Amino acid sequence: MSLINSAIKTVAKPYTSKGYRLLSKSLNIPTANNGTMDIVEIASEFGKGHTTVTSFKDEKGKLVQRTIDKICSKGNIHTFSEFEGNVTTQRRKISRTSVNGKLTQETITKNVYSPDKGGKLDREHLTINYSPNKTTNEVQYFESRAPHGVHNYVKTTASRNSVGEYTHTAIESNTLPQAELDKYAQTPYVFSKNYSKEDFLKAVAPYAKEKQNVSELGIKIKNKKLKGSTLGLSYNRRYKIGVDVEKHTDKADLIDTINHELRHKYQDKLISKYEPGFFKEFDGILRTVLESLGIVKPKPASKVVSTLSDENMKLAKIFKDNKQKYIKPSSKNYNDYYNQPVEVDARNAGAKAKDEYKNILDVLADRLGVSNKLNWSQEQIAMYEFITNAEKEGNVVKVGGLFS
């Protein structure tokens, strides 16, 4: 006898007024990973349509995946959902829906349920609708709900163009004044908080270019898998920046890297104004050889561009001198690499941008009274669950707040 046949099945029920009917239900079918599987079949449109819901649970009975396959008058609709985490720490759900093979909608939801606060539920929810021309329309909620009590929320709406950059944003709340919301609307960080890291990179790139004063340079920023480099997080070319998003633990670190690399572009911009031609192809040894052969005319002495402020003039000279004797990173000379002026300057720019990102989200969460657990990484959640379980088993003694 097959596992499915040995599971409990429900006899088909009559159609509802909206044309649905339960055909069968097979529960707790054992799977190879010590979990179980449930299969539910439903007729729709008075028999013209058919839906199969397949749910996978772990060995503790917690839902980890669900697939919904629906055949109806709109076509074949496929939805795949993944679930992570524990309800008392952070429960995360990602769902993607395709119609006839094309992605149409993505939802990302995070919930934190706090029994110690009277059943309070904190929630972040993002819905992205994809258009055929690769643009998106999306709605995001930050909510703090108390049972039979106050419901505080901030709602964001946004659109992105075909390359993932913002074209429009709006923000509203039933709790916070519009003047405060307008401050949040000046950056894309709130609107893109629940994006995947790659989508987040695309969305905030124009803002980072603006902050580092290099918007006019036509720099392309892309997610790029990097192997074998000393640092392994990013690379910087003349008009291109590659960032390996999966090597970054969170979006705050991603913001740091983007702005760090773009600050290097600003350094180059200052040098080019200080000494025109510094980065041109024929500079250096190659030009000297070509001049000696009479192929090109000798370059006139460089003239300092007077449009630079005195402060930027000094910076440009420091950056230029450093670029001429730049120390590449290695295990032997890492301190020398780390402490050279262009790297110190870029690190400061990255840290400042990272602080801006963290501060705006911390303030928003604090104003709404939302749990900081919504912002925890998977590593923090795992550590919390480990320590909590150890406390219950009497293996450790609690001496203070976690991650305080």
- Residue of higher predicted confidence among 2 and 345: 345
CA 255-256-257 angle, 5° bins: 95
Read off the pLDDT of residues 180-202 as tens digits, 9 standing for 90 and up.
Answer: 999 999 999 999 999 999 999 99
Grade residue 11 by pLDDT with cuts at 50, 70 and 90.
low
Mean of the per-residue pLDDT values of the chain: 85
- Residue of higher predicted confidence among 350 and 399: 350
CB contact at 8 A, 350 and 256: yes
Give the pLDDT confidence score for residue 281 in this predicted structure: 42
CB contact at 8 A, 277 and 257: no
> Which pairs count as long-range contacts for 283-289, CB under 8 Å and 24+ apart, including other chains?
none
Give the pLDDT confidence score for residue 168 in this predicted structure: 86
* Whether pLDDT at 260 is above 90: yes
Q: Which neighbouring-strand residues pair with 40? A: 25, 53
**Helix (H/G/I), strand (E/B), else coil: 86:** coil
Buried b (16+ CB within 10 A) or exposed e, 82-118: ebebeeebbbbbbbbbbeeeeebbbbbbbbbbeeeee
Mean pLDDT across 104-127: 88
Grade residue 304 by pLDDT with cuts at 50, 70 and 90.
very low
* Whether pLDDT at 381 is above 80: no
* Whether pLDDT at 229 is above 60: no
Measured in degrees and rounded to the nearest 5, phi and psi for residue 47 equal 100, -10
Give the pLDDT confidence score for residue 389 in this predicted structure: 74
Grade residue 276 by pLDDT with cuts at 50, 70 and 90.
confident
Q: Identify the weakest region by mean pLDDT among 87-96, 133-142, 315-324.
A: 87-96
Mean pLDDT across 93-103: 95
